[in-house]
Amino acid sequence: MKGYRNNGAIGALLDEYEKSLNELINTIKNISSSQLIKIIDNKTKDKDCTSIQAILTHIVQSGYTYVVEVRKWLGEDIEYKDKALLSSTDEYINALKKMFKFNEQLFQDYPNLILCEYDSNKKINTRWGQKYDVEQLFEHAIVHTLRHRRQIEKAKLIINSNKQL
């Protein structure tokens, strides 16, 4: 029987985020180092989507960015995490788990964090130009992971067929 966090909406967001990351981990765990770095789309202008390695690097860094955005909004002086290219899926799995712990820590540090903000002027202005409240930002994090998991699943099919996107 699956256990659930018992802290309401925060628990639901963390449970679903963790679930999306576990699905991603299951998708990548058998990818070889050569498959990891293989260019799957040489036509894209988005450098975060050229290879599975690039996609995973983007997911890890984005996972940290969401927390940094919230912490900055709360008044903390905190720096964004740089992207780090890793050479194996085991390293990415560890990085994803470490990044999720960073997300959990936010809610341990701020257990009464208000998730929903209706006043547009009080929302988080992200560095990519969107405005979110905390709940919307974490919902974005979940779907972001799911979308890239799907992209990696498609990339695996392409790699196995020796084609490109």
Q: Provide the domain limits for residue 64.
A: 33-161
Residues whose CB falls within 8 Å of the CB of residue 92, separated by 6 or more in sequence, listed in order:
28, 56, 60, 86
Kindly state whether residue 23 falls inside one of the protein's structural domains: no
- Tokens coding 141: 């994090």
Residue-level pLDDT at 164: 52
Identify whether 43 is part of a domain.
yes
Give pLDDT, residue 6. 87
Q: What is the CATH number of the domain that holds 60?
A: 1.20.120.450
Residue 136 counted as domain residue: yes
Measured distance CA(17)–CA(89) in Å, rounded: 19
Question: Has residue 1 been placed in a domain?
Answer: no
Q: Rounded to whole angstroms, how far apart are CA atoms 115 and 47?
A: 32
Residue 78 clears pLDDT 90, i.e. is over it: yes
Residue 45 lies in a domain: yes
Sorting pLDDT into bands at 50, 70 and 90, what band is 83?
very high
pTM: 0.94
pLDDT tens digits for 116-159?
A: 999 999 999 999 999 999 999 999 999 999 999 999 999 999 88
Q: How many helices and strands in the chain, by DSSP H and E?
A: 5, 2
pLDDT of residue 163: 59
Distance (Å, rounded) from C-alpha 60 to C-alpha 53?
11
Residue 8 domain-assigned? no
In a domain, residue 143? The reply is: yes
Per the structure block, which two tokens stand in for 4?
């659930």
Number of domains in the chain: 1
Specify the amino acid at residue 60: V
Q: What residues does 39 pair with on adjacent strands?
A: 51
C-beta separation of 65 from 13 below 8 A: no
Would you say residue 115 has pLDDT above 90?
yes
CB 152 within 8 Å of CB 46: no
